[in-house]
Structure 1
Amino acid sequence: MPAAQNVAEDAQNAIEIYIDADACPVKTEIYRVAERHKLKVFVVANSYIATPREDWIKRILVDATPDAADDWIAGRAARGAIVITSDIPLASRCVKANADVIAPTGKAFTQASVGEALATRNLLDALRSQGEITGGPKPFSSRDRSAFLSALDLAIVRLRRSGFS
């Protein structure tokens, strides 16, 4: 096999992490895990976010339109990608593209779970628009951080076992 073809196949089978970064509380943890596993990370936001100056971390600044970051990430989501987001509509789009999707709390979105999560989100959104007080998310905890790290490691191991590097 020619060397150029090996390089192209390696790039095609590379695990990449996409962070919906505007409100992500686990960016530092992602950087540590990605460095340990030698993975490329894309930090996607519509405003400047400080990132470590590493060649494997790419900061992507998108337009300030409402779904620009989501569209950028969803356009690249595929098998071998790990998407970190708490945005359920984005999670749904990425799961449909066969990406591994993990919330910062460690909840993995799957084909089996994302439909229910999206329906619940839409119901709560409809209730809020009618003036109902539905409360917000629980405060982020150290247990959430630990669950996230476990879920991220599990996703990486699962992808490596299926041929991604």
Structure 2
Amino acid sequence: MTILVDADACPVKEEIYRVAERHGAHVRVVSNQVFRVPVSERVKRVTVSDAFDAADDWIAEAAGPRTLVVTGDILLADRALKAGATVLAHTGKPFDAASMGGAVATRAILADLRAGMDGPLGGSGGGPAPFRKEDRSRFLQALDRELVRLSRAVR
């Protein structure tokens, strides 16, 4: 099993390393910046170019049935699901084929709304909600659950 991490904005990298070690999973930390990763044969840093969506493209191409992708990017989640991967947001929310159409549509609507905003927020909206302790706990539970499920599917 391999965990592919969309690392640039991922607040749960340390948690991923710990849970992956416990399950014997490999981790690929993918970004266009250099991140420090633990010294481990199971954890590898993948630094891609700073071209638009280079990290997303690498993850989407590497995704498959024995991979778990961690991302907050809805469009990357959609691509990874289509490749057969299991996908979790860093809040622990699972992405699945049933919810993806609505998520992509909502993303497009919100992007259009932000683009038309005037005032102090401009086109930026307000950004995502702050990351909370409950999100971290929910992520840890979901990651453990999905790694157990993936390991059983292999047997």
| Superposed displacement of residue 136, structure 1 | 2.0
Aligned-partner Cα distance in 1 for 2:35–2:100:
28
1:137 to 128, 139, 153: 128
Q: Is residue 2:153 matched to residue 1:162?
A: yes
User: Counterpart of 1:162 in 2: which secondary structure?
Assistant: helix
1:32 to 13, 18, 21: 18
Equivalent position of 1:22 in the other structure = 8
User: Counterpart of 1:143 in 2: which secondary structure?
Assistant: helix
Equivalent position of 2:110 in the other structure = 124
Equivalent position of 2:54 in the other structure = 68
Q: Is residue 2:76 matched to residue 1:85?
A: no
User: Counterpart of 1:65 in 2: which secondary structure?
Assistant: coil
RMSD: 1.1
In structure 2, stretches of 5+ residues that fail to align are: none
| Superposed displacement of residue 135, structure 1 | 2.6
Q: Is residue 2:82 matched to residue 1:96?
A: yes
| Superposed displacement of residue 161, structure 1 | 1.7
Amino acid at match of 2:138: A
Amino acid at match of 2:24: K
User: Counterpart of 2:75 in 1: which secondary structure?
Assistant: helix
In structure 1, stretches of 5+ residues that fail to align are: 1-14
Aligned-partner Cα distance in 1 for 2:141–2:101:
23
Equivalent position of 2:142 in the other structure = 151
Aligned-partner Cα distance in 2 for 1:116–1:147:
22
Q: How many aligned residue pairs are there?
A: 150
2:37 to 25, 30, 51: 51
User: Counterpart of 2:62 in 1: which secondary structure?
Assistant: coil
TM-score, normalised via structure 2 length: 0.93
Amino acid at match of 1:93: R
| Superposed displacement of residue 154, structure 1 | 1.1
Amino acid at match of 1:118: V
User: Counterpart of 2:63 in 1: which secondary structure?
Assistant: coil
Q: Is residue 2:95 matched to residue 1:109?
A: yes
Deviations 1:49-83 (A, max 9, x none): 11111111110000001100000000011111000
User: Counterpart of 1:86 in 2: which secondary structure?
Assistant: coil
Q: Percent identity?
A: 52
Amino acid at match of 2:129: K
TM-score, normalised via structure 1 length: 0.87
Aligned-partner Cα distance in 2 for 1:115–1:49:
32
Aligned-partner Cα distance in 1 for 2:79–2:86:
11
